[in-house]
A and B are shown apart, each in its own frame.
Chain A
Amino acid sequence: MSELLWVLFDLVLAGLTVGLAWVAVATRELRRGVLLFVGLGLLLAVIWARLRAPDLALAEAAIGAGIAGALLIAALRDEIGVSAEPEDGYTASRRLVDLGAIGLLLALSWGLLDAFLLSDGVRLAEGVAERLGESGVINPVTAVLLNFRAYDTLLELAVVFAAVLGVLSVGPARPALEAGSLVLTGLVRWLVPILVVVAGYLLWVGAHAPGGAFQAGAMLAAVAVLLRLGGVAHAGLPGTAATRWLLVLGIGVFVIVGLSVMFADRAFLQYPGDIAGVLILVIEIAATLSIATALALAYLGGRPVGWEADCDSPQHRVNRGAADRGGDA
């Protein structure tokens, strides 16, 4: 009986997801599209939970719905008066895109259907379970992300770094909001310490339960978003030099750990079994700080005030004005 209820629940969930995705894309008002998209992220988090992938559910809720939503809404602020309404003559190519998307969907379904007929459904899970004991952690997801496929995670940190370098090179940060009302600032003051503790917990718990650097980093970034909304211009980020160090810390520590074990006659990132857990924790702490800094800078939307004050030697200061007119004006 309860089996049937779950099937019903899943069907409703699936229908809602497709419907919400459709409406989010089809809506003509950008703001509504963004809000629906955030809702879609939450729905996806529920689906991941249903699929018994709580790590993904956490990541989806924190990054897909939370931080991505905050970024999109901040971007909306810059686009006041812009609607998603198609211009005249644009509809033909829009239709072509629709047809292409439907074609891809059909092809993908065909391929996946055949794949599921072919496969035993176990794939790498057995291998992970078998070697989990050697990984230094008990949570299989963390074992894959930080040990078995740590190199992927290293490059993913580099992707985040690349994105934030792009944000920093395009223009100055958005102007800060004015300090909010007493109620808002009071709430922020209450929430910030709680969120910092939650982030620390997520980071620590990642070794044996759902959690980890990406989720914790997103939580810390949420602190920055709250501070910024509460009227704190620097969003909790330290000075320029310290922020730069924080930004590179994650990749830097990751690579240094990997190289240190390599110099001890092992492969790159081949942690010795007895200290693997400690090394993973060290990497995750550094990665959390870097991810949080990167996401906070992305929310600022550009270079914070004074970011490039120390970039040029004194004799080049004269040229500085030209760069400012080109980039920062």
Chain B
Amino acid sequence: MTDLLVWPILLPLLASLLALVFPRRGDWIGGMASLAVLISAAWLVHSVWDNGVIAVALGGWQPGLGIALRADGLSSVLLLMVAIVALTIGIYATRYFDNAVVRARFWPLWLLLLAALNALLLSGDVFNLYVTLELVGLTAVALGALGGSRDAIVAALRYLTIGLLGSMAFLAGVVVLYAAYGTLDMVALASVVEDRPATWVALMLMTLGLLVKSALFPMHFWLPPAHANAPAPVSAALSALVVKVAFYLVLRLWLDVFTVALHPATAWMLGLLGAVAVLWGSYRALRAPRLKLLAAYSTVAQLGYLFLFLPLLAGLPDGPAREAAFGAVVLFALTHGFAKSALFLGAGVIQQRAGHDRIEELGGTARALPVTTFVLALSGIALIGLPPSGTFLAKWQLLAAAVETGQWVWIPVVAVGSLLAGAYVFRVLGHAFAPGDRDGSALAAGREELPALALALVATVVLGLAAGGLWGFLDFAAMSPGGAR
């Protein structure tokens, strides 16, 4: 049963090798592998549902000497999200890259990125996490440069440099942890860390590295050019998945490993940076001239919301209120994953049909591409946080937790951020519904529009309705025996 844990990593890894050796079979190999990863992820979620935390000691060596893979509620739902989004983006990519040579470059890297994301989510060892961070970073950079334009390569190189700085800081933190406590296993670390300088420095260095990678203000400057210049399927994955796993690691380290060393002031500082990110990212999204740039700045803002949850989680005592807030941050991350990938795929469709994605010149899009316009509206609903999207419930819990802990300061931030999000979404829709000179009378949906539609529907409808189950799942997985908490 514990073998379940290796499949989401090994399947895409092997498929990546095959896609390089058989370049003409890339679509087939990639599709099959993505489907198999989805099945293994669903199986894993099911198994965590039945048994609680699942762990395997690789090589049979006890964790510490060897490396453990672990899956709990948090990592398994994120794994499932990654699998669904990656499969859908992969299907879209076969239409987006109409050139077989470019697809032959895309598939090995794409499958390797999928393996890396899954490896990161399942890893239970801090040094192994560093290796997975490097793997995610390198594949993401190479995918971002696939477009081949000068801007794309410049942005990718900047992304590479900044990503390496981030992983170096993370590695330095790992070094301090190992020097002080003599183990790299996260569960073992959680039981031995003490509240003292070595732990503070390790926590600071690792968090700093992850903040750079998750593009929290003011370390967000690399994200908009990198995400806006990558090919649309890649942008979708970068915004929806790659920055998300860095945030997952922050959550994992703060809540599971460094619990004793966590001071409310530190959490407040990250919350404040998150608040600035919400306001600044939303403002820049409102002023963005291009749809993909808007989506990228919106990612900066949405990640800000995720960091707002940290001071709340630090301020709430263990109990139902804290579990509600924890479920809300996961729901927020999931909804953003689906909504943002839908938005980027929609932007990709528009860019390919119209030859550009300048927002001012979107007139006529609603007539020519009704399905894609619907996708923009649906993902907009999720980004603003209107019901029935998952974001609505998550923001509701965020406000409830802010009241509960007396941290009133976050409430106006959420209010203003949501208003700005409404403004930038309606700005796009306003232009899209304006009459244009491009008369496309075809009301039929093109096949390349459907993946985005599926993602947007999950974000807006499915996650909103199924959220109750998510809370139940996370609670159960957290309480079960063997859980780190």
Contact = CB atoms under 8 A, between A and B. Distances in A.
Interface string A303-323: 000001011110010011011
Interface stretch (A13-21, A206-214, A220-228, A242-250): A242-250
Given A131-B65, A268-B59, A269-B59, A311 B100 contact: yes
B275 to A, nearest CB: 23
A131 B61 contact: yes
23 contacts: A108-B201, A108-B205, A111-B198, A112-B175, A115-B176, A116-B179, A118-B180, A119-B181, A124-B64, A149-B59, A149-B128, A152-B127, A159-B138, A162-B142, A165-B109, A244-B20, A255-B13, A262-B6, A270-B58, A311-B100, A312-B104, A316-B100, A326-B148
A147 interface: yes
Given A165-B109, A245-B21, A268 B3 contact: yes
A162 B17 contact: no
Given A114-B180, A268-B56, A323-B99, A159 B108 contact: no
Given A107-B204, A163-B138, A311-B24, A158 B116 contact: yes
Interface of B: 2-3, 6, 10, 13-14, 16-18, 20-21, 23-24, 56-61, 64-67, 98-102, 104-105, 108-109, 112, 115-116, 119, 127-128, 131-132, 134-135, 138-139, 141-142, 145-146, 148, 153, 169, 172, 175-176, 178-183, 194, 196-198, 200-202, 204-205
Given A111-B205, A170-B142, 7 more contacts: A119-B180, A156-B131, A158-B135, A162-B135, A313-B100, A322-B99, A323-B101
Nearest to B101: A323
Contacts of A322: 99
Given A268-B56, A311-B24, A149 B145 contact: no
B142 A319 contact: no
Contacts of A319: 98-101
Nearest to A319: B99
A166 B141 contact: yes
A8 interface: no
Interface in A101-141: 104, 107-108, 110-116, 118-120, 122-124, 127-128, 131
B94 to A, nearest CB: 13
> 8 closest pairs, A vs B, by CB?
A111-B201, A166-B142, A312-B100, A115-B180, A123-B182, A270-B60, A248-B17, A115-B179
A99 to B, nearest CB: 15
A83 interface: no
A308 B104 contact: yes
Given A111-B202, A155-B128, A251 B61 contact: no
A312 B101 contact: yes
Contact of B58 (A108, A151, A168): A151
A233 B119 CA distance: 38
Contacts of B178: 123
Interface string A150-176: 111001101101110110111100000
B148 A111 contact: no
At the interface, is chain A mostly helix, strand, loop or mixed?
helix
Nearest to A262: B3
Contacts of B175: 112
Contacts of A163: 138
A252 interface: yes
Given A166-B138, A270-B60, A247 B20 contact: yes
A287 B56 CA distance: 25
Contacts of A255: 10, 13-14
Contacts of A186: none
A123 B2 CA distance: 28
A266 interface: yes
A225 B375 CA distance: 52
A259 B6 CA distance: 9
A327 interface: yes
A128 B23 CA distance: 42
A204 interface: no
Contacts of B16: 161
A95 to B, nearest CB: 17
A316 to B, nearest CB: 5
Contact of B59 (A128, A148, A159, A169): A148
B59 A170 contact: no
A267 interface: yes
Contacts of B104: 308, 311-312
A291 B58 CA distance: 23
B101 A149 contact: no
A118 B108 contact: no
Contacts of A107: 201, 204-205
A241 B134 CA distance: 28
A271 B109 CA distance: 30
Contact of B17 (A148, A151, A251): A251
A114 B109 contact: no
A264 B153 CA distance: 46
Contacts of B60: 266-267, 270
Given A108-B176, A166-B145, A252-B17, A267 B57 contact: yes
Most chain-A Cβ atoms within 10 A of its Cβ — which of B18, B65, B116, B146?
A: B65
Contact of B201 (A114, A116, A262, A316): A114
B59 A147 contact: yes
A326 B18 CA distance: 25
A18 B115 CA distance: 38
A122 B179 CA distance: 10
A105 B182 CA distance: 22
Given A169-B142, A322-B99, A127 B64 contact: yes
B116 A327 contact: no
Contact of A158 (B115, B180, B181): B115
Given A118-B196, A158-B116, A169 B99 contact: no
A247 B65 CA distance: 30
A300 to B, nearest CB: 16
A97 B382 CA distance: 38
Contact of A312 (B18, B24, B58): B24
Nearest to B147: A326
Contacts of B24: 310-313
Contact of A110 (B99, B108, B181, B197): B197
A110 B203 CA distance: 13
Contacts of A131: 61, 65
Nearest to B127: A152
B108 A165 contact: yes
A75 to B, nearest CB: 12
